[in-house]
Amino acid sequence: MLTSRCIVGITALYLRRQIKLQNRMSTFTRPVAAVCQVTATPDKQANFSACKKLVEEAKTQGASMVFLPEGFDYIGSSREETLSLSESLKGDIISQYTQLARKLEVWLSLGGFHERGPDWESDRRIYNSHIIINDKGDIVSVYRKSHLFDVELPEKGVSLKESAFTIPGPSLVPPVQTPVGKVGLGICYDLRFPELSLALQRTGAEILTYPSAFTVATGAAHWEVLLRARAIETQCFVLAAAQVGQHHEKRSSYGHALAVDPWGEVLGDCGGEKPGMVLVEVDLEKVKSTRRNMPVQQHRRDTKFYQSLEES
């Protein structure tokens, strides 16, 4: 089973739930989210087949919403290949996922789709888009990545310039009401900007999600600590689907798809080797009690207070 090889560091009761698959639908008392880990390649159809199996498995085990990572559709081996494989929201890939969601009656978070931009015919530029599909197969929200990964770390072998072919998104989108809670949308590098997570929290988010394809070097250094920090400062659940392993000869990803609770505790970690998923019961009472017992947002000063240094 895919789930059994990526669930670590959680309670014995939770592990027993993973083993008793025949009673899966009856063991969970709260909504269940499946946070997935995949190894995408330039082969779009093979990627869809792999993701489809994860979604089907998640549904079988009681998940009402499944989270897939950035680049779930593909990860190209060059700028030219990345652009040539891109599609619109009305293309074949998203159509396959809307049909899958409708057939299985499950919500999907598609964490980073290569969407052709509004002036595709003239400029050949794309968005990195996070798409939420409901259990009827409708697209209910699209967030386009606002912070682009333009980073040169020669000592760590990291050199990526996302802005060379990607358009930054124009705005944040409101959190989406889903069966597991109100979900605020980010993508990968957005994780490094707490202003984004706080804006989503202020507008009602109970869950933050950062589908990602972190490099091995930056993932090892920062992935878990950043996810836990975002959970702690917003007092939200944080669900982060991830790419893992070797995509092609030029690129590999860190993995460790993670689920974190509002106290900053890691509920599940898919590890850094293989595709799989972790199942998480989303107890929204934990959000309420954490915020009630430590009312950080009530203690926050007004915006002018934090801008006072800049004004002086």
Give the CA-trace dihedral at 36, 42, 44, 48, to 10 degrees: -20
**Catalytic residue (choose from 6, 115, 145, 286):** 145
As separate numbers, helices (DSSP H) first and strands (DSSP E) second, the chain gives: 12, 16
DSSP 281-300: E--HHHHHHHHHHS-HHHHP
Give the residue among 49, 6, 41, 70 at the shortest CA–CA distance from 246. 41
**Catalytic residue (choose from 57, 70, 206, 281):** 70
Give the residue among 309, 303, 285, 276 at the shortest CA–CA distance from 8. 276
Q: How far apart are CA 232 and CA 224, in angstroms?
A: 12
Q: Is 70 a catalytic residue?
A: yes
Copy the structure tokens of residue 282: 């989303």
Q: Report which DSSP code applies to 268.
A: E
Judged by DSSP in three states, 235 sits in coil
Give the CA-trace dihedral at 85, 88, 93, 96, to 10 degrees: -170
Q: How far apart are CA 282 and CA 187, in angstroms?
A: 21
Cα-Cα end-to-end distance for the chain: 59
Q: How far apart are CA 290 and CA 85, in angstroms?
A: 44
Q: Is 36 a catalytic residue?
A: no
Instruction: Give me the phi and psi of 310, to 5 degrees please.
Output: -65, -40
Give the length of the chain. 312
Residue with tokens 């430590």: 294
Which amino acid, one-letter code, is at 215?
T
**Catalytic residue (choose from 51, 188, 236, 270):** 188
Q: Is 188 a catalytic residue?
A: yes
Q: Report which DSSP code applies to 305.
A: H
Q: Report the catalytic residues.
A: 70, 145, 188
